[in-house]
């Protein structure tokens, strides 16, 4: 018995925020579609993040335009459960055709006919288009320098849940973007001795002159930046909504008890060595912080806004000892380090998408999500169209562009199909006419008359 193949116009893979946004826009444009999610809606917000995580942006900002968060104030930071519930409620509100618990294993282009054949955990699907909405952060990266030492517990930030999960002893957190810095803070507050390895970073003020940084990045056009500034590819952003939302200030964290170190260089025979770049990295973060204050002041002056002055925001704590006399190396056993948390980012994994849409390094080849393989789209990737692309509010706008592209492409096929149908009708009627002529004795004789043929 042959397996039944489901036919669908557009298949969306993944029902995180990107998949839900795609579904909304495709529905608005009347594009028949199906969203397949291997687990649950917004699964990564439920189970791939630490217990105490809250959104980095306030509820008025980190949401889709069509719905507010229920039950929390607009300026509060939603917990990860509230974010997951928000997307589930959103999917219900827009009646999104999502099938959960179905994994997509393989997508291949059809040979000699349009569309794709998709192998899923529940059988085959044929779709004219496929949208990959499987997330910007798919495969945790632990760099090859990680020590091969069974006596040390090593976790990626995506596997960290809470301090109780770790053995007794000190912790080295490698990476000080939003995840690393929040995890280090939580571990230190739980009573652990913590070393935090800090690389190049941006650290916008949580708020300035009574406006959250999300507002500032918005009005200053920063969320819309089309590409990373050259040389900033390895710069993380350190922000946090934890405990009501505070500016990340590495010197304050040091005075709180965290030992800051430079970038982690290598592990050899139980000793870890650090780059001597801590002061430089902090100075760079300060520059970024101050440049945003300057831009905000200019904006306020230019627009005559009535927002309270905040000169104290420019005050800097003196450099703590770990900055003035940075550690070059550390004996892990002597320091009592029993765990390392790698907050070192993620890579994508499109092994299931076996189409011509990737460059030699395996990176998606696309323009604003429209890939080099006609009919294949990406949504939710960092910098897909702008800085905001991988964030909640940004993905909604990218999804709109992609849905519009899909609807336009469908129009070409509607034209093609109707033009073909018209062409066939004309051909059929001509064939019928010619049959009628052949069947009619008078006409047949006329047709054989060279003069009649010429007149035709």
Cα distance between residue 279 and residue 292, in whole Å: 20
Q: Which is nearer to ligand FAD, 14 or 199 (by Cβ)?
A: 14
Cα distance between residue 381 and residue 368, in whole Å: 10
Q: Which is nearer to ligand FAD, 19 or 163 (by Cβ)?
A: 19
The span of 25-33, 37-45, 229-237, 409-417 binding ligand FAD (CB under 6 A) equals 37-45
Pick one of 380, 398, 399, 410: the residue that binds ligand FAD (CB under 6 A): 380
Cβ density class 213-240: b for 16+ within 10 Å, e for less? bbbbbbebebbeeeeeeeeeeebbbbbb
Cα distance between residue 173 and residue 218, in whole Å: 31
User: How many CB atoms are located within 10 Å of the residue 386 CB?
Assistant: 18
Encoding tokens for residue 416? 């093609």
The span of 1-9, 48-56, 146-154, 417-425 binding ligand FAD (CB under 6 A) equals 48-56
Place of tokens 């893979």: 13
Name every residue whose Cβ is closer than 8 Å to that of residue 369 and which is 6 or more positions away in sequence. 377, 378, 379, 381, 384, 385, 398, 401, 402, 405
| Smallest distance from ligand FAD to CB 389, Å | 9
Encoding tokens for residue 9? 């116009």
User: How many CB atoms are located within 10 Å of the residue 280 CB?
Assistant: 12
Name every residue whose Cβ is closer than 8 Å to that of residue 202 and which is 6 or more positions away in sequence. 235, 236, 237, 238, 285, 288
Q: Decide: residue 146, CB within 10 A, 0-12 exposed, 13-18 middle, 19+ buried.
A: middle
Is 224 one of the binding residues for ligand FAD (CB under 6 A)?
no
Query: Cβ distance 96 to 24 under 8 Å?
Result: yes
Q: Are strands 346-347 and 139-140 parallel, antiparallel or unpaired?
A: antiparallel
Q: Which is nearer to ligand FAD, 13 or 337 (by Cβ)?
A: 13
Pick one of 58, 135, 199, 369: the residue that binds ligand FAD (CB under 6 A): 135
Pick one of 134, 188, 264, 389: the residue that binds ligand FAD (CB under 6 A): 134
Pick one of 58, 136, 199, 285: the residue that binds ligand FAD (CB under 6 A): 136
The span of 3-11, 30-38, 148-156, 284-292 binding ligand FAD (CB under 6 A) equals 30-38
User: How many CB atoms are located within 10 Å of the residue 14 CB?
Assistant: 27
Is 127 one of the binding residues for ligand FAD (CB under 6 A)?
no
Restricting to residues 179-198, name those near ligand FAD by CB under 6 A: 179
Kindly state the number of chain residues that form the binding site for ligand FAD, as judged by CB under 6 A. 34
The span of 13-21, 168-176, 189-197, 203-211 binding ligand FAD (CB under 6 A) equals 13-21
Is 160 one of the binding residues for ligand FAD (CB under 6 A)?
no
Q: Which is nearer to ligand FAD, 15 or 187 (by Cβ)?
A: 15
Is 133 one of the binding residues for ligand FAD (CB under 6 A)?
yes
| Smallest distance from ligand FAD to CB 143, Å | 17
Q: Which is nearer to ligand FAD, 102 or 258 (by Cβ)?
A: 102
Restricting to residues 263-302, name those near ligand FAD by CB under 6 A: none
Q: Nearest 5°: phi and psi at 58?
A: -70, 160
Angle of the 17-28 helix axis to the 80-93 helix axis, nearest 10: 20
Is 14 one of the binding residues for ligand FAD (CB under 6 A)?
yes
The span of 135-143, 160-168, 336-344, 362-370 binding ligand FAD (CB under 6 A) equals 135-143
| Smallest distance from ligand FAD to CB 238, Å | 12
Is 57 one of the binding residues for ligand FAD (CB under 6 A)?
yes
The span of 44-52, 65-73, 251-259, 416-424 binding ligand FAD (CB under 6 A) equals 44-52
Cα distance between residue 394 and residue 385, in whole Å: 9
The span of 31-39, 196-204, 215-223, 413-421 binding ligand FAD (CB under 6 A) equals 31-39
Encoding tokens for residue 152? 């040390």
Name every residue whose Cβ is closer than 8 Å to that of residue 426 and which is 6 or more positions away in sequence. none
Pick one of 17, 23, 197, 264: the residue that binds ligand FAD (CB under 6 A): 17
Q: Please name every residue paired with 353 in a beta bridge, in sequence order, or none if there are none.
A: 107
Q: How far is CA 148 from CA 7, 320, 396, in A?
A: 49, 32, 42
Restricting to residues 79-118, name those near ligand FAD by CB under 6 A: 103-104
Name every residue whose Cβ is closer than 8 Å to that of residue 359 and which is 6 or more positions away in sequence. 365
Q: Which is nearer to ligand FAD, 20 or 272 (by Cβ)?
A: 20
Is 389 one of the binding residues for ligand FAD (CB under 6 A)?
no
Q: Which x/- pattern over 346-365 shows residues binding ligand FAD (rule: CB under 6 A)?
A: ------x-------------
Using CB under 6 A, list all residues that contact ligand FAD: 13-19, 36-39, 43-45, 49, 53, 55-57, 62, 103-104, 133-137, 179, 352, 380, 390-392, 395
């Amino acid at each position: 018995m042959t397996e039944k193949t489901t036919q669908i116009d557009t298949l969306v893979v993944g029902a995180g925020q990107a998949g839900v946004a795609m579904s909304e826009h495709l529905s608005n444009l009347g594009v028949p579609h199906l969203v397949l999610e291997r687990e649950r809606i917004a699964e990564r917000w439920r189970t791939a993040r630490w217990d105490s995580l809250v959104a980095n942006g306030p509820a008025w900002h980190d949401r889709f335009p069509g719905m507010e968060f229920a039950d929390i104030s607009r300026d509060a930071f939603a917990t990860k459960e509230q974010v997951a519930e928000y997307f589930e409620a959103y999917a219900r509100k827009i009646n999104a055709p999502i099938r959960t618990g179905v994994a997509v294993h393989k997508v291949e282009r059809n040979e000699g006919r349009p569309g794709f054949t998709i192998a899923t955990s529940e059988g085959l699907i044929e779709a004219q288009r496929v949208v990959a909405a499987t997330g910007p952060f798919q495969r945790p990266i632990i760099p090859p320098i990680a020590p091969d030492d069974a006596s040390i517990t090593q976790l990626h930030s995506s596997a960290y849940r809470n301090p109780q999960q770790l053995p007794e002893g000190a912790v080295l957190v490698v990476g000080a973007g939003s995840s690393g810095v929040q995890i280090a803070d939580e571990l230190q507050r739980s009573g652990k001795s913590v070393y935090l390895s800090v690389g190049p970073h941006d650290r916008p003020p949580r708020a300035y002159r009574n406006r959250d940084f999300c507002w500032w990045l918005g009005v200053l056009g920063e969320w819309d930046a089309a590409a990373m500034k050259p040389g900033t590819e390895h710069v993380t952003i350190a922000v946090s909504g934890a405990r009501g939302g505070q500016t990340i200030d590495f010197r304050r964290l040091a005075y709180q008890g965290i030992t800051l170190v430079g970038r982690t260089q290598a592990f050899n025979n139980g000793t870890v060595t650090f780059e001597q770049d801590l002061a430089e990295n902090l100075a760079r973060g300060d520059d970024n912080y101050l440049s945003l204050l300057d831009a905000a002041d200019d904006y306020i002056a230019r627009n005559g806004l009535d927002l309270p002055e905040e000169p104290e925001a420019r005050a800097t704590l003196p450099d703590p000892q770990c900055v003035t006399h940075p550690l070059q190396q550390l004996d892990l056993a002597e320091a009592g380090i029993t765990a390392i948390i790698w907050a070192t980012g993620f890579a994508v994994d499109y092994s299931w998408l076996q189409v011509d849409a990737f460059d030699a390094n395996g990176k998606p080849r696309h323009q604003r999500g429209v890939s080099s393989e006609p009919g294949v789209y990406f949504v939710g990737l960092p910098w897909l169209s702008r800085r905001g692309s991988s964030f909640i509010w940004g993905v909604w706008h990218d999804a709109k562009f992609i849905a519009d592209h899909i609807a336009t492409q469908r129009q070409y096929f509607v034209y093609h199909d109707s033009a073909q149908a018209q062409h066939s009708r004309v051909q059929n009627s001509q064939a019928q006419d010619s049959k009628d002529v052949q069947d009619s004795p008078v006409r047949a004789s006329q047709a054989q008359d060279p003069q009649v043929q010429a007149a035709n």
